[in-house]
Chains A and B, each alone.
Chain A
């Protein structure tokens, strides 16, 4: 195992961080006013950078501005030619089809079952293994306003303020009022959260939250939630298919509603037809699109498949002109650049400092603001340049043990300790180099409080539901820490409940067609989209250039 640590040129700079530490430990850095935050965002946040976005030219949201990488996916040919798919032979005839097996998909499947759907009338399909998702990578925690000093009202105000007041407020209401109940559910399922001896949760502050509201399971919070849900799902014997993503939805031409999906076996290349009375999209986010050229903290399959499929059947798109760049991605070592350094480090007191050892932002401002401050610091020459030419600022990790006692890092941040010690950096002794990383899709296909997917006119698309990162509206233009794990469970549960209701109301099986693609394909033709641009992309292609140039497709 390589244990190289910092090169000597960088190691030398650590003394400037150490020199100011004593002083920084004593005096908290001031918070910015709303006006100061706005100014910082407009000047430095990637969302405001010109040339990175364009208006959509096809589909129901023509004219809506989205990031170029998103537009490239939506202005792309389907993977299948409608004529090539035989819809007369149905391979899976079910009541509820769940697409995706992260926290939202598993919660949706379980709540459909709790609400009366028979487990063997559910089919869950997933692109990689069961549970491979961004959920397992969520480290810091989950927000729920349960302490007497806190309230759903404060959680609401924090969330809407953090979202730059663009959130759909009824979704936020659902989020903050469901969360205490969701915590109870997780308790009942045997999830292990960090607790004090009297049973009260250990709760810390998240960026932009006015109360300590973050419940954690060391820094494996998402993993703990996911594996508990997965165990419960498996105990119910629900049919599921791994390495089998959905690549297109099916629609009933009579009402334009959704009636199933075309599935694809990634390993054999075979397609399957699934018919369902309710379809739940829980496909997660889009980090692997490397929006605006950023590295990402996301899992390998985060390629926005659900938005692509949903948009083609007429879903409205919200806030896809904004993405979350998490302030503290790994800047060094290069091997793990872009991976996450959880916000919990800052919750526990680690401060951000520049090459001179100066603090330049309060570490618990909202993520968009902290990221902007780091980008500014580096652009103005106060960052540290790594041997591969990447930039970063210091996150002063050793402060955590100084503030909260020796051993805190190893106990509360074991994943972070491991992530760096594997590369010879001991975070109990040394600061780490960090730079923003593409982290979260703030928006997506618009949903309502029942997790129904909406058309631009506000009408729900019959029998189509969505939950988790793929759904848009709840987080506005910037998500708060701990609200993503909350969101997947709150809206996953609601999607499952709505699906069960939809199944009861749908007496005859809806017809299967790919009719919705006809108009879409006409539009693609009319704007001259190149034939080789196809979506969903399913997985990123990181193969070396040298190999791709000489690649023959023979076998």
Chain B
């Protein structure tokens, strides 16, 4: 089998195409193909705010931008999305979304409680701006509507991939504090509504009764050769 390997010219590596971006209005020339974070660093910014995991999980880097000649306000995650020529951008340093304290172990798990803690849910006008703003592509408005209907299971499922970047709450005309509401709903679902795990209590009981103590003691004392033998003789369970 003959395979043509990809060849790259040195020039292409050394001299990337440059694009113009406007960081909070100020123009910078940066190489094409960089994430917004890396472009900011290339331009000379040392990041403290608006940066976290750099992998799309923590929601620290909500970014708003517009392109020349467009009225549309676009959103991005600075760690995930690459720069585009002509971008006017700001990475939000912070999104103020105050939370309400609650005691999970003593609350009554129903929708009345969620509405009591976050009454603004009732103000949702179903404009769908939240959904359009979500960098994760979640059905945010559907989740709010599900909560209003009392379908917490549905809301927990729809919002599971929420990274709490806060963009929806910054855009919402009803001023809903989405991420904190979703945290609460998922915990209610997890604690009170999801099926209880099987086996777990049995295993905990066995451990508490000392079922494995003696064997673990032996393993702790075993020589490396004995352990190697045990390790090599394991039977690996097949995949389902």
Beyond A9-B7, A227-B183, 14 extra complex contacts between A and B, CB < 8 Å? A136-B53, A165-B227, A169-B220, A173-B216, A180-B200, A199-B197, A201-B197, A211-B237, A237-B101, A335-B38, A340-B55, A355-B3, A542-B41, A544-B41
Instruction: Check: A79 CB closer than 8 A to any chain B CB.
Output: no
Q: How far is the CA of A153 from the CA of B232 in the complex (A)?
A: 15
Q: How large is the interface on B (under 10, 10 to 19, 20 to 34, 35 or more residues)?
A: 35 or more
CB distance from B179 to the nearest CB of A (A): 9
Task: Provide a sorted-by-A list of 16 A–B residue pairs whose CB atoms are within 8 angstroms.
Answer: A2-B81, A16-B3, A129-B52, A146-B197, A165-B227, A169-B220, A189-B191, A192-B186, A198-B198, A210-B235, A357-B1, A388-B8, A388-B13, A542-B41, A543-B44, A551-B44
Task: Check A180–B203 contact: CB distance below 8 A.
Answer: yes
Q: How far is the CA of A154 from the CA of B236 in the complex (A)?
A: 11
A16-B3, A165-B228 given; A243·B48 CB < 8 A: yes
Q: How large is the interface on A (under 10, 10 to 19, 20 to 34, 35 or more residues)?
A: 35 or more
Tell me which of B55, B161, B207 contacts A414 (CB under 8 A).
B161
How would you classify the secondary structure of chain A's contact residues: helix, strand, loop or mixed?
A: loop
CB distance from A460 to the nearest CB of B (A): 20
Closest residue on chain A to residue B156 by CB atoms? A192
Q: How far is the CA of A235 from the CA of B98 in the complex (A)?
A: 13
CB distance from A333 to the nearest CB of B (A): 8
Q: Which of A45-53, A156-164, A508-516 contacts B (4 or more CB under 8 A)?
A: A156-164
How would you classify the secondary structure of chain B's contact residues: helix, strand, loop or mixed?
A: loop
Task: Check A385–B8 contact: CB distance below 8 A.
Answer: yes
Tell me which of B161, B227, B237 contacts A218 (CB under 8 A).
B161
Task: Check A205–B237 contact: CB distance below 8 A.
Answer: yes
Contacts of B234 in A (CB 8 A): 154, 157-158, 161, 210
A137-B53, A157-B234, A227-B164 given; A190·B189 CB < 8 A: yes
Task: Check B8–A234 contact: CB distance below 8 A.
Answer: no
Task: Check A132–B58 contact: CB distance below 8 A.
Answer: yes
Within A113-152, which residues are at the interface with B (CB < 8 Å)? 128-129, 131-134, 136-137, 145-149, 151-152
Q: How far is the CA of A118 from the CA of B235 in the complex (A)?
A: 48
Contacts of A160 in B (CB 8 A): 219, 227, 231
Within A288-308, which residues are at the interface with B (CB < 8 Å)? 297, 299-300
Task: Check B220–A187 contact: CB distance below 8 A.
Answer: no
Q: How far is the CA of A197 from the CA of B194 in the complex (A)?
A: 9
Contacts of B42 in A (CB 8 A): 543-544
Q: Mark B28-63, 1 if CB is under 8 A from A, else 0.
A: 000001110010011111111101111111101000
Task: Check A153–B212 contact: CB distance below 8 A.
Answer: yes
Closest residue on chain A to residue B136 by CB atoms? A418
Instruction: Check: A31 CB closer than 8 A to any chain B CB.
Output: yes
Closest residue on chain A to residue B35 by CB atoms? A335
Contacts of A183 in B (CB 8 A): 197, 200
Task: Check A157–B219 contact: CB distance below 8 A.
Answer: yes
Contacts of B230 in A (CB 8 A): 157
Task: Check B60–A169 contact: CB distance below 8 A.
Answer: no
Q: How far is the CA of A165 from the CA of B228 in the complex (A)?
A: 8
A227-B183, A299-B58, A388-B13 given; A187·B197 CB < 8 A: yes
Contacts of B52 in A (CB 8 A): 128-129, 132, 136, 299-300
Task: Check B76–A1 contact: CB distance below 8 A.
Answer: yes
Instruction: Check: A457 CB closer than 8 A to any chain B CB.
Output: no
Contacts of B8 in A (CB 8 A): 385, 387-389
A1-B76, A160-B227, A190-B186 given; A170·B220 CB < 8 A: yes
Closest residue on chain A to residue B183 by CB atoms? A231
Q: How far is the CA of A419 from the CA of B81 in the complex (A)?
A: 10
Interface centre among B7, B49, B202, B231 (most CB of A within 10 A): B231
Contacts of A518 in B (CB 8 A): none
Instruction: Check: B23 CB closer than 8 A to any chain A CB.
Output: no
Instruction: Check: B104 CB closer than 8 A to any chain A CB.
Output: yes
Q: How far is the CA of A414 from the CA of B103 in the complex (A)?
A: 31
Closest residue on chain A to residue B75 by CB atoms? A1
Contacts of A384 in B (CB 8 A): 5-6
Interface centre among A2, A149, A237 (most CB of B within 10 A): A2
Tell me which of A187, A222, A340, A422 contacts B81 (CB under 8 A).
A422
CB distance from A331 to the nearest CB of B (A): 12
Task: Check B137–A418 contact: CB distance below 8 A.
Answer: yes
Q: How far is the CA of A9 from the CA of B44 in the complex (A)?
A: 34
Instruction: Check: B24 CB closer than 8 A to any chain A CB.
Output: no
A180-B204, A189-B104, A200-B198 given; A415·B57 CB < 8 A: yes
Instruction: Check: A336 CB closer than 8 A to any chain B CB.
Output: yes
Q: How far is the CA of A14 from the CA of B13 in the complex (A)?
A: 23
Closest residue on chain A to residue B8 by CB atoms? A387
Q: How far is the CA of A349 from the CA of B189 in the complex (A)?
A: 30
Q: How far is the CA of A551 from the CA of B45 in the complex (A)?
A: 11
Instruction: Check: B70 CB closer than 8 A to any chain A CB.
Output: no
A190-B104, A419-B80 given; A300·B51 CB < 8 A: yes
